[in-house]
Chain A
Amino acid sequence: MIESAFLNFSLTVSMVLLLAGLIFSFIRLVVGPTLPDRVVALDLMTVLIIVFCGIFAILEDKPAFLDVALVLALVGFLATVALARYVERYTQREQSTRAQKGQQ
């Protein structure tokens, strides 16, 4: 366990700040008016969970949690790219169907 009082205090403070950031981005994920808003909020939540893994590795004195952060960084990037492509193709399809309806 961690013996230094200051380190304990700063770990608690940083956990509270990080959880506040996670809650803020979750609110944006829920209320976000458009689809890209939600994707950006989800991307930020992935980064914040990586930060959480870093703090938790220090808190528990187990570097194994950093492996979780490494995998999450890779998967989070793939998720963002996939969702961005989804948004792009969704709008393209919508526009083409609208154009077809206009022709008819």
Chain B
Amino acid sequence: MDYLIGIVLMVGAFFAMAAGLGILRLPDVLIRMHASTKAGTLGAGLVLLAAVVYFLDWAVTVRIMAIMVFLMATAPIGAHMMGRASLRAKVPLYKIKAPTPKKAPSQKAAPARE
């Protein structure tokens, strides 16, 4: 049982770290939001699942269910409002260069962070 808890915990924390990495490295607001909402919610869900398995108690389980329901219901709403606001604020978006016929755009053509 300890191994199950530990592995789920580490996978969840890895996804939380991936969300942070995505929000640091990705080029513009909407792509960053993609990293933060999906990976962040998945990481939180996995870590809370590990807490359910660790405590194995009805009161704790119901509380964690409430946290997960709130997170999964509110993350898309918040992301939608934030995306609409940033679109109306005319935040500069990341432009993908049209692929030239001889050479596909390489991974190295990272955007300059403004």
List residues of chain A with CB under 8 Å of any chain B CB.
4, 6-7, 9-11, 13-15, 17-18, 20-25, 27-28, 33-37, 39-41, 43-44, 47-48, 50-51, 54-55, 57-58, 63, 66-67, 69-70, 73-74, 76-77, 80-81, 83-85, 87-88, 90-92
Contact = CB atoms under 8 A, between A and B. Distances in A.
Say whether chain B's binding surface is mostly helix, strand, loop, or mixed. Answer: helix
20 contacts: A6-B3, A10-B7, A11-B6, A21-B20, A24-B24, A25-B19, A25-B36, A27-B24, A28-B24, A36-B89, A47-B43, A48-B20, A51-B13, A51-B16, A63-B59, A63-B60, A66-B63, A73-B74, A80-B82, A81-B78
Contacts, number: 190
B88 interface: yes
Contact of A34 (B7, B29, B71): B29
Interface residues of B, number: 57
Given A43-B36, A48-B40, A66 B51 contact: yes
A88 B12 contact: no
A51 B6 contact: no
Given A58-B5, A88-B89, 18 more contacts: A10-B5, A13-B13, A14-B13, A24-B23, A27-B24, A36-B29, A41-B36, A43-B82, A44-B20, A44-B23, A51-B44, A55-B13, A58-B9, A58-B51, A80-B78, A80-B82, A87-B85, A92-B88
B36 A40 contact: yes
Given A6-B3, A13-B13, A69-B67, A84 B78 contact: yes
Nearest to A3: B2
